């Protein structure tokens, strides 16, 4: 396979390897950032700090539960 790429195989393989590495680093950074942010959000919600829409949804759910 490598011989089939000719005398410049090293340059071709390096180009593909570097590109894959750059994409993986960006993807890894985005995934890790997302995990950390969701954890922070859960911590805030566990302390009772919620967005207005989340509070309304929670209140509506408890009203429905009480009515039934």
Partner 1 sequence: MAIIDLANPTRFMTLTDRLLPWLWGVTLLVLGCGLYLGLFVAPADYQQGETVKIMFIHVPAAWLAMFGYGMMAASALGTLIWRHPLADVAAKATAPVGAAFTLMALITGSLWGKPMWGTWWEWDARMTSVLILFLMYLGLIALWNAIEDPIKGGRVGAVLILVGSVNLPIIKFSVDWWNTLHQPASVFRMGGSTIDASMLYPLLICAIGATLLFLTLSLMAMRNEILRRRIRALRLVAAATPVGVSA
CB atoms closer than 10 angstroms to residue 57: 12
Q: Does 59 bind partner 1 (CB under 8 A)?
A: no
Mask for 17-56, x = binds partner 1 (CB under 8 A): -xx--xx-xxx-xxx-xx--xx-xx--x--xxxxx-x---
Footprint on this chain of partner 1 (rule: CB under 8 A): 4-9, 11-12, 14-16, 18-19, 22-23, 25-27, 29-31, 33-34, 37-38, 40-41, 44, 47-51, 53
């Amino acid at each position: 396979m490598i011989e089939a790429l000719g005398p410049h195989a090293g340059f071709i393989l390096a180009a593909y390897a570097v590109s894959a590495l750059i994409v993986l680093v960006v993807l890894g950074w985005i995934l890790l950032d997302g995990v950390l942010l969701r954890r922070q959000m859960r911590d805030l919600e566990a302390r009772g700090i919620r967005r207005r829409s989340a509070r309304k949804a929670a209140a509506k759910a408890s009203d429905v539960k009480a009515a039934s």
